[in-house]
Amino acid sequence: MSLSSSRNTRRTVQGLLILALVAFGAIVAGCGSDASGESGGKVQLVAYSTPQTAYEEGLEPAFNQTTEGEDIDFSNSFGASGDQSRAVEAGQPAGYVNFALETDVTRLVDAGLVSKDWQKNRYKGIVTNSVVSIVTRPGNPEGVKSFQDIIDKGLDVVTPNPFTSGGARWNIMAIYGAAIHEGKTPDQALESVKQILSQAPVQPASARDALQAFIGGAGDVLISYENEAIAAQNAGEDVDYVIPDSTILIEQPAAVTVDAPKSATDFLDFLWSDAGQKIWAEQGYRPVNKSLVDPSVYPTPKDEFTIAEFGGWDKVADEFFDDQTGSVAEIEKELGVSTEG
């Protein structure tokens, strides 16, 4: 073999090796994309149960009409907030998460799945607001106006299990806070919580399950998100609802995971845009953009309070909802209700 032929052969081999390395790199990059659970044209959404209709019938189609959302596919998973958060922690693929409670997001922060700075934005990680309401039979035949009325009238109540449902925890803190604002001591306020839970023959796993149980005939009243009551009415269900004068502002967080594609971030940005917030409002949620809140549709309760009054969700989760030592766990155990998430 000539020297020239030998050099050409070496060059050919080197070229093939380079091509092989480039191909291998592309395969590795593709595997890295799969490891995040998403490709660039897909958003894997994991959320608590109640906003399913809002996403699937309002927000996702509207996002698909934008430049950023064109040709983006969604893969959705909805369920009880705590269950959904634990599923993602255990490995369920997710690019965008929306839960009922801040603690369900911080669980993923602790697991390294969501960035520690997820709240460093205009709305501090909150994508929608609501308030705890009392859903009644048509015409509110029992004349219920407050959580205390449920106790005084001895009504059967439907509310979810606070050890699977984030909505249930908001309900309990609304009952507790309203009692505190009426002048009751913390112990007396917990007694109000216990009394109402004792009047709940069944505690479904999620807020959506609780709504379905109530629509199916269970209970005299349902304690739930305002947006659930509005969604039920929009779906043609024959229910009414009351916003107690004293109730809690519900703040519902959303975040993208650390390995999420740009499409997930674009979707979250859309949800915070004026267009996204207006769709949330049409679906029964109070916009986090205060300028978009219509007071004729979403009046501010006379005595609206927030979870910050009780130290925020980290403190409240330990004090009230620790499954071994929390005050609500003790109440549920006394009532024979499971505290296992």
For 38-64, what is each residue's pLDDT tens digit? 444 899 999 999 999 999 999 999 999
Which H or E run contains 23? helix 3-35
Mean pLDDT for the chain overall: 90
d(C-alpha 234, C-alpha 155), whole Å: 26
> Which of 201, 184, 161, 189 has its CA nearest to residue 81?
161
d(C-alpha 284, C-alpha 207), whole Å: 15
Check whether residue 175 and residue 313 sit in a common domain: yes
pLDDT tens digits along 256-303: 999 999 999 999 999 999 999 999 999 999 999 999 999 999 999 999
- Residue % of the chain over a pLDDT of 70: 88
Q: Is the pLDDT of residue 11 over 70?
A: no
Q: Is residue 33 part of a domain?
A: no
- Residue % of the chain over a pLDDT of 90: 84
Alpha helices in 217-326, H assignment, sequence order: 226-234, 262-272, 274-282, 312-321
Mean pLDDT within 13-28:
39
Q: Is residue 308 part of a domain?
A: yes
Check whether residue 175 and residue 64 sit in a common domain: no
Q: Is residue 34 part of a domain?
A: no
User: What's the pLDDT score for residue 75?
Assistant: 97
Q: Is the pLDDT of residue 5 over 50?
A: no
Check whether residue 97 and residue 224 sit in a common domain: no
User: What's the pLDDT score for residue 4?
Assistant: 39
Check whether residue 201 and residue 55 sit in a common domain: no
Check whether residue 183 and residue 322 sit in a common domain: yes
User: What's the pLDDT score for residue 28?
Assistant: 36
Kindly calculate the radius of gyration of the chain based on its CA atoms and give it in whole angstroms: 25
Question: Which CATH number belongs to the domain containing residue 62 in this structure?
Answer: 3.40.190.10
257 near 36, Cβ under 8 Å? yes
Domain extent, residue 206, equals 130-250+297-334
Check whether residue 88 and residue 155 sit in a common domain: no
Mean pLDDT within 178-184:
98
Q: Is residue 121 part of a domain?
A: yes
User: What's the pLDDT score for residue 340?
Assistant: 84
Q: Is the pLDDT of residue 30 over 70?
A: no
Q: State the virtual CA torsion across 326, 208, 127, 295 in degrees, nearest 10.
A: -110
Q: Is residue 245 part of a domain?
A: yes
Q: Is 54 helix (H, G, I), strand (E, B) or coil?
A: helix
Site of tokens 């155990």:
333
* Residue 70 banded pLDDT, cuts 50, 70, 90: very high
* Residue 341 banded pLDDT, cuts 50, 70, 90: low
Number of domains in the chain: 2
d(C-alpha 229, C-alpha 276), whole Å: 21
Q: Is residue 30 part of a domain?
A: no
271 near 129, Cβ under 8 Å? no
Query: Residue 273 has what DSSP assignment?
Result: S
Q: How crowded is residue 22: how many other Cβ atoms within 10 Å of its Cβ? A: 10
Check whether residue 230 and residue 311 sit in a common domain: yes
Q: What is the pTM of this model?
A: 0.85
Question: Identity (one letter) of the amino acid at 11?
Answer: R
In our burial notation (b when 16+ CB lie closer than 10 A, e otherwise), range 158-173 reads bbbbbbbbbbbbbbbb
Q: Is residue 202 part of a domain?
A: yes
User: What's the pLDDT score for residue 220?
Assistant: 98
Could you write out the DSSP letters of every residue in 89-102?
HTT---SEEE-SSH
d(C-alpha 261, C-alpha 121), whole Å: 19
Q: State the virtual CA torsion across 225, 226, 230, 231 in degrees, nearest 10.
A: -20
Check whether residue 285 and residue 303 sit in a common domain: no
Q: Is the pLDDT of residue 144 over 60?
A: yes
> Which of 281, 181, 277, 269 has its CA nearest to residue 230?
281
* Residue 9 banded pLDDT, cuts 50, 70, 90: very low
pLDDT tens digits along 96-111: 999 999 999 999 999 9
Check whether residue 204 and residue 172 sit in a common domain: yes
Q: Is residue 23 part of a domain?
A: no
The residue with greater pLDDT, 18 or 249, is 249
Check whether residue 173 and residue 270 sit in a common domain: no
Check whether residue 58 and residue 137 sit in a common domain: no
Check whether residue 246 and residue 264 sit in a common domain: no
